[in-house]
Structure formats: C-alpha cells, structure tokens
A and B are shown apart, each in its own frame.
Chain A
Amino acid sequence: MNKSIGVNSNYLKKNPVSTFVKNNLGILIGLLALCVVLTFTTDYFMTGKNLLTVLRQICINVLLAFGMTFVLIVGGIDLTVGSVVGASGVAVVMLIEAGFPIALAVLLALFLGGLVGLINGVIVAYTGMPAFIVTLSMQGVVRGIAYIITDGRSVASTNKVFTTIGNSYLVGIPVPIYIVVVVMLVISVILYRTRFGRRMYAIGGNATAAKFTGIKLNGLVVRVYIISALLSALAGIILASRMYSGQPTAGQGYESDAIAAAVLGGTSFTGGIGTISGTLIGALVIGVLSNGLNLLHISSYVQMVIKGIVIIMAVGIDLFKNRNNSK
C-alpha cells in the first residue's frame, strides 16, 4: 500500500512539461516535421517575422478553438462561433461609430455575444435538443442579424484607438498575442483548477454519474456555451479592429478550423477529454500548414483539399494509437 502512495506523490511532482509532451506526442511530432520541411523548402519560413505572422494569424482561431474545446468537453458542439465573430465585429464598430466609448462598446459587444451563448446553452441543456441542430440553426440566425443591421455592407471604423488594438505591437510582439496569452491563462485556471472545470469533465465523461453525484448539469452546460460565445465575440472584436471595419461576412466557416484545432489537439468528440495545450498545438499545426502552403505558392483551392486530408489523417492516427493502447 505504501508503495502506491509513493507513486502518487511522484505523480504530483511529475514535470508538467514531460506530461504535456507525452500527452501530445503525435501532434507535436507532426508540427515539428512540418516546421522542418518548411524550413528547408522555403527561405522565408524560419524567420522571426514570419513566425510572428503565423502566431498573429492563428490568434482568432485559437480563441474560437478554446471555446470549442470547452463545449466539446461537456459533450456538445458550437457551430455559431463563426457567425458570432461576424456579428460582434459589426456590433462593436457600429457602437463606436455611434459615439459609445471604446471600453463600453467592447463590453456591449461581448455581452451580445454572450447572449447568443446563453440562448444556445439554454436550448441545448433544457430541451435536450441536439447541440448540432441548435447551434447550426442559431448560426443562421446570428449571421442573418449581422446582415440585417448592416444591410449586408461592411462598416468602416474611423476610430484610430480601436484599430490600434489589433494592429499595433508591444515590445515587437503583436498585441492580439498578449490577449490570447492572458485568455489562455484564465481559461486554463478555470478548466484545471476550479470545481467548474472538473465538473465539465465529469459531465462529458458520464452525464448520468455526474447527475447522480448531485452536479447541476444544466446550469453548467449553459455557462460553457456562454464562455464559448464570449471567446468568439472577443475574437470578432479583435478581427474587426485588425480589418479597420466590422464585416457581416467575417468569420464565415471559422467553426470548421476551430473544431479541427480542438480535435487535432486530442479533444474527444464524445466528450470528457480535451486540453488547452493540445488545442493550442492543433491551432498551430493548422496555422503553420496554411502559412507554409502560402509560402510554397499553392493555390487556396488546393490548400482546402490538403487541410482536409491532413485533419483526417491526424485524427485517424490518433484513433489508431488509442485503439492499440486499449488492447
């Protein structure tokens, strides 16, 4: 018996870096291989400037993918993330143009985004309708509203302060990257260090068990959808700032990249499994891949095909690996 206690204290002391590498080995090797290949096939890839560009480009997807990871962990899915990006971008720019102070406009846009999450969550949790159907439909609703209020045209931002958020650098690093790092720290703490996070895994792993231990499932699920929507709204605001305008078409199809990042990072589609670090690497793989293909002058049509194949292969390898482990 004492022996097993020994094992556990070791577990506590276990190096987080080595645990991280072990859990994400497959995808890390993939990422590394990709970087090596691109370093040798292009002159420009392995330059500080390009790497920073990659990081800045993935910021939006990382935020969405974090939200998606949360939703996937509780066994749901959120297809509204892309449309929330568009709608919140439009909202924040319109509010600023209407004379609202920037901070207030940002808060309001976040609030509106959160509202979408609340609606998603309440319908999913309390009616038992499948999350796929609910969020697929809400995607149309939200995107439609973005078109209606802008009449389908993009809204230019004349506010210099607002547009610097997405376009300026701090100590040589783009500001959005700082925002993502802060978000990552906050949601990591929520996921790993709080009751709320622990219970998310319980619900995704075995909802009945969670219910029988007295966990209030519905409220928790609603909050998870709100978190996902808030992160999407934040991404939309950053994107609008970067593009100097709120565009109702922004974020179209972003949900697929977000899902891809989460799944590449080892998040389970059936719930209960997923990590922030894994999702981050997943987003990096997608970002590096797009960047590399661009540098290699491969057309965006071909890129779509390649990305699709890479995701199927990566997830397939992961599945195969797990199947062997379980036997």
Chain B
Amino acid sequence: MDCEYFLEMFHINKTFPGAKVLNDISLKIKPGEIRALVGENGAGKSTLIKILGGIYKKDNDDGLIKINGETVEINSVEEAKKYGICIIHQEISLADNMSVADNLFMGAELMTRNNIFLNDKEMIFQSQKIMDEMGVDIDVTEKVGSLSIAKQQMVEISRSLLTNARLIVMDEPTSSLTSNEIVQLFYQIDQLKQAGIAIIYISHRLPEIFRVSDSITILRDGNLIGTHKTSDLSEHQIISMMVGREISEIYSSDKQIIPGPEFLSVTNLSNKKLRNIKFSLRKGEILGFAGLIGAGRTELARAIFGIDKISSGEIFIKGKKIEIKHPMDAINCGIGYVPENRKTEGLFLNNTIRYNISITILEKFIQFIHVNRKKEKSIVDNFTKFLDIKMVSADQEVMFLSGGNQQKVLVSKWLTTEPSILILDEPTRGIDIGSKSEIYHLINRLAQKGIAIILISSEMDEIVNLCNRVIVMHEGEITGELENSEIDRLSQERIMWLAAGGNG
C-alpha cells in the first residue's frame, strides 16, 4: 500500500437525459477509513455509488477515478470487483431460492481442477469458514429465503469479503435491522476497519453515523457540500448542510394536545401471532407502538384492520362492539391502515397520483357510468395541497416520486376515506430527514383534527418525540406502557428494556 488513498475520485459529473444529477464531485478515501455519505433522497448518493460500482458510467469528461493512485476506468460490475470495490445494495440482492453458499459464490463459483464442474464441497467449506470467522451462526446450506433479514445482510457482507473487497459500500445497511443486529453489524464494521478495508456508509440515521464513521461527506442536489471529520460536526450542522436551510425543529413540539374521550378499545385480542392484547385509544391521541422487528406490531395492525384472522378478543369503537372480518369492515368503521411496505402493499406504483389517491373512494365520484371528474379533481387537489406533495401534476406516475412524497400519497389515499383512526406502520422508513420532518408535522396536524393515531415505529426518536403514550410489545404480547408524563429522553432505555422482553 504505497499510496495514501485507496480511492480517489476527481470532478465526477453525471448527466441523465434532461438532468444533471452529479456536479463536480471529488472524494478521497484511505484504507481502513469509514466514510459516511449523507444527503437527502435525490442528492446523488446512489448515482455516485453506482458509478463507482460500474453500474452507471460517469460523463465522458475530465472526471477521473484512481484506485491506489492509478487511474482506472470502471465499465462493469465485474471490473469494479476486480478493483476491490463491492457494493451492498439497500434492497438485499440475494437469490432467495438458493443456499447461502450458492449466493456467496454467485458469479464467482469455485470449480474443480478441470474447470468444468462446480466444486460444491469446497464452496460449502469456504462459506462456513467465513461465517465462523465472522462469528455468525448460519448454516450455509440453508436457503437464503429462510433466513432473517439481519442474517441475509451478514451473508451480503461475507460475500463482499469473499471477493477480496478493499472498499465496501453499505447503502442503508440498518434500515431493516433490530437494535441487537445493528450492534452486531457495527462489530463487523470495526473488524473490517481493522483489516484495512475502507467503507462508505450511507445512512439517514445520524446517531449511527456518529457511532461508526471517521469522516462525513455531504451531498446536496448533486453537489458536494463538503467532507469533514465526524468529530468536528454536530448533528445540527449535518442536517443544515444536507437540507441547505436550518431545520428549526424536526418534531413540532405540540405534544400538549389533550386527547379526547376514549374512542377505540381492544380487549384480550389473540391470534396465531398475538396474545391477549389489551389497549385503548383516545380521540386525537398519538399512540406509539414500540418493539423489535417481529414483536407483533404489524400483526396487531393487520388483525385490527381485518387482514389477519382474530381467534379471540373484542374490538369496541365508542363503546360499541364491532366485528371486523375484512378490511372493508374496518374501513366502514373509520379505520385506515398505511402499511409498512409502501411499494408492495400500499401503492399502485405505475399508476398516477390521482389514481392512487382516489382509488379508495371511487363511489364518491363515480355513479353507475357517470364519472364526476370535477369532483375527483377537487378531492385530489385538496389532498395534494394539504399534504404539500411535490409533483409536476397529479397525472404523474407515483413511481417517479421521492420516498417521502410517495408516503404522502399513501397517507392521502387513506385520508380520503375520512378515517377516525389511522394506523401508520413505519411511516418514515427509508425517507430522508426533510421529508421525515414533514411527515411528523402531518401526523401532529391529523391528531389536532381529532384523528386517533396508532404509530408503529422502530425509530426510538420518533416514538419518544411524537407520541402521547407508548405501548411496548415483545413476541406478540404487550410488555409495558408509558404515559405522557413518563416519556422523555431517558425513557428510551426503558422502552428498549421492555422491547427485549424485560419485566416492569
């Protein structure tokens, strides 16, 4: 290693037809350095990474990439690998149908001496060795589809180690991990650092960035805002550099809303995944559900919304017992559910914003064969304005919107049904801090209008800062409840303790 920097990028530009997405970006990373790459969605992080990984080509101009001091051209994924660059994409890119060992060696299979046949024995042995070295308990002959998300991620990391990566890019690696798993990941990252491997760490979660990174590069709208030592920056400074303006407050501080009378109550609710769930919800209240992934929070939402069957228990609205056997029953009772995976469960991505917003209330403007376009337009305009959805027009396809704006469309879809209870499942997952803040303000405004809100979130900050009351779940049971007066910064630890199954 006679060169100080492993990777140097100079004056990288990238133009897509009609838009310049990267403008004169330069970047230098030393071996063993952990560099956080931050910026709002659309700031150009993924484009930059894709250029590095050989998926996109940079513009054909003065831009230059050097590896170990030598100028290189990266034209394909294979070439990137050859230079020791490995990217772990946000969506897990493993094949569910294949074993861990097959996935690890995908595209670089080990062969027997004649170089014609696969050497499964060796591949399985080598894979197991790597798993053991990483201290991960995975049987490498198991199908990847049967592993937890966290283990799948470990498989991805080990795959990069196998290709002798010198630089590993991790794109939002923790977005689907539980706190314990995140700790494990950070341990692995430290190991990689010790081994002299450089890491580019992309995340929206600032506390993680402070925990893990040596230095931070900030991008905004395709421009390089700056690279600084992590220790020189405060959370506040990073956010204002990312957003380009002061975010006076991420959470609006209107926690003083006084919730109204009891609206929904659930008693002894049980099914395959839930045991004896009992809670109540008041008008205008924001009730947080905290817990680890798999604690049964989403399952509870699905049960209340009539997607999953209830084996016992009762649901009351305004003291009256109701039967929910189908989502349509729930909608008729005034319940709306914004699911966790907005792309697969919530939105019709290749349809327009108008279509998505109006799909749940077609009967309001379509009578028999008469379509009242004016009324549709007024409903759609009303919501796009109320939620401040950034779009060219309502006829734009939803897939071209940013994550935050997609989430707003999804929320509008439910608001059109004029719900009195809105269940939000991880509403800010994978969206940038600016949009997050807008979603928070929105939640507060909805609560002020008297809508009772159930907020399922794995982000402790959200739970602590947004909710009037917090219920903690663990393995399908409620393990604790924190009232408004108890919720403060310190309560995070208590919530974690309850979420991990602790008593009291």
List residues of A (1-35) whose CB comes within 8 Å of B's CBs: 1, 4-5, 7-8, 11-12
A7 touches B102 (CB 8 A): no
Question: Closest Cβ of chain B: how far from A151's Cβ, in Å?
Answer: 46
Q: Does B214 contact A (CB under 8 A)?
A: no
Most buried by B among A5, A197, A273: A5
Question: Closest Cβ of chain A: how far from B360's Cβ, in Å?
Answer: 28
Assuming the contacts A11-B141, A214-B77, asked whether A206 and B109 have C-beta atoms less than 8 A apart, the reply is: no
Assuming the contacts A8-B128, A8-B139, asked whether A214 and B107 have C-beta atoms less than 8 A apart, the reply is: yes
Taking CB atoms, residues of chain A closer than 8 Å to B96 are 205-206, 272
Q: Does B483 contact A (CB under 8 A)?
A: no
A206 touches B139 (CB 8 A): no
Q: Does B140 contact A (CB under 8 A)?
A: yes
Taking CB atoms, residues of chain A closer than 8 Å to B132 are 1, 5
B98 touches A214 (CB 8 A): no
Question: Closest Cβ of chain B: how far from A23's Cβ, in Å?
Answer: 12
Taking CB atoms, residues of chain A closer than 8 Å to B108 are 213-214
Q: Does B118 contact A (CB under 8 A)?
A: yes
Taking CB atoms, residues of chain B closer than 8 Å to A8 are 124-125, 128, 139-141
Nearest-neighbor residue (CB-CB) of B117 within chain A: A193
Taking CB atoms, residues of chain A closer than 8 Å to B76 are 214
Taking CB atoms, residues of chain B closer than 8 Å to A5 are 128, 132
B128 touches A4 (CB 8 A): yes
Question: Closest Cβ of chain B: how far from A56's Cβ, in Å?
Answer: 32
Assuming the contacts A4-B139, A201-B98, asked whether A195 and B109 have C-beta atoms less than 8 A apart, the reply is: yes
B107 touches A206 (CB 8 A): no
Instruction: State which of A7, A202, A272 has its C-beta within 8 Å of the C-beta of B107.
Output: A202
Q: Does B137 contact A (CB under 8 A)?
A: yes
Q: Does B55 contact A (CB under 8 A)?
A: yes
B106 touches A210 (CB 8 A): yes
Instruction: State which of A1, A7, A195, A213 has its C-beta within 8 Å of the C-beta of B77.
Output: A213
B97 touches A204 (CB 8 A): yes
Assuming the contacts A193-B118, A194-B116, asked whether A213 and B141 have C-beta atoms less than 8 A apart, the reply is: no
List residues of A (101-128) whose CB comes within 8 Å of B's CBs: none
List residues of B (78-129) whose CB comes within 8 Å of A's CBs: 78, 81, 87, 89, 91, 93-98, 102-103, 106-109, 111, 116-118, 120-121, 124-125, 128
Question: Closest Cβ of chain A: how far from B435's Cβ, in Å?
Answer: 25
B97 touches A195 (CB 8 A): no
Q: Does A148 contact B (CB under 8 A)?
A: no
CA distance A272 to B132 in the complex (A): 28
Q: Does A314 contact B (CB under 8 A)?
A: no
Q: Does A211 contact B (CB under 8 A)?
A: yes
Taking CB atoms, residues of chain B closer than 8 Å to A210 are 95, 106-107
Chain B residues bordering chain A, tally (CB within 8 A)? 39
Taking CB atoms, residues of chain A closer than 8 Å to B317 are none
Instruction: State which of A11, A192, A201, A212 has its C-beta within 8 Å of the C-beta of B93.
Output: A212
B97 touches A273 (CB 8 A): yes
Assuming the contacts A205-B95, A206-B96, asked whether A215 and B107 have C-beta atoms less than 8 A apart, the reply is: yes
List residues of A (205-262) whose CB comes within 8 Å of B's CBs: 205-206, 208-215
CA distance A7 to B127 in the complex (A): 13
Taking CB atoms, residues of chain A closer than 8 Å to B81 are 214
Question: Closest Cβ of chain A: how far from B55's Cβ, in Å?
Answer: 7
Question: Closest Cβ of chain B: how far from A270's Cβ, in Å?
Answer: 9
Taking CB atoms, residues of chain B closer than 8 Å to A143 are none
B117 touches A194 (CB 8 A): yes
CA distance A198 to B81 in the complex (A): 20
Taking CB atoms, residues of chain B closer than 8 Å to A12 are 120-121, 124
Q: Does B138 contact A (CB under 8 A)?
A: yes
B138 touches A4 (CB 8 A): yes
CA distance A205 to B95 in the complex (A): 5
Question: Closest Cβ of chain B: how far from A213's Cβ, in Å?
Answer: 4
Assuming the contacts A1-B132, A209-B94, A211-B77, asked whether A7 and B141 have C-beta atoms less than 8 A apart, the reply is: yes
CA distance A194 to B111 in the complex (A): 8
Question: Closest Cβ of chain A: how far from B167's Cβ, in Å?
Answer: 16
B121 touches A212 (CB 8 A): no
A202 touches B118 (CB 8 A): no
Question: Closest Cβ of chain B: how far from A209's Cβ, in Å?
Answer: 4
Instruction: State which of A4, A11, A198, A212 has its C-beta within 8 Å of the C-beta of B89.
Output: A212
Instruction: State which of A194, A198, A212 has its C-beta within 8 Å of the C-beta of B102.
Output: A198
A4 touches B93 (CB 8 A): no
Question: Closest Cβ of chain A: how far from B477's Cβ, in Å?
Answer: 20
CA distance A214 to B125 in the complex (A): 23
B97 touches A205 (CB 8 A): yes
Question: Closest Cβ of chain B: how far from A41's Cβ, in Å?
Answer: 40
A214 touches B124 (CB 8 A): no
Residues of B with Cβ closer than 8 Å to A? 53, 55, 76-78, 81, 87, 89, 91, 93-98, 102-103, 106-109, 111, 116-118, 120-121, 124-125, 128, 131-132, 135, 137-141, 159
**Further contacts, 12 of them, CB under 8 A, given A199-B107, A210-B106:** A1-B131, A4-B138, A4-B139, A5-B132, A11-B124, A194-B116, A206-B94, A210-B107, A212-B77, A214-B76, A214-B77, A214-B108
A-B residue pairs, 7 tightest by C-beta? A205-B95, A213-B107, A272-B97, A209-B93, A205-B97, A214-B78, A206-B95
Please name 19 pairs of A and B residues whose Cβ atoms are closer than 8 Å in the assembled complex, sorted by A. A1-B131, A194-B116, A195-B111, A198-B106, A198-B118, A201-B98, A202-B95, A202-B102, A202-B106, A205-B97, A209-B93, A210-B106, A212-B53, A212-B89, A213-B107, A214-B107, A215-B107, A272-B96, A272-B98
Residues of A with Cβ closer than 8 Å to B? 1, 4-5, 7-8, 11-12, 189, 192-195, 197-199, 201-202, 204-206, 208-215, 268, 272-273
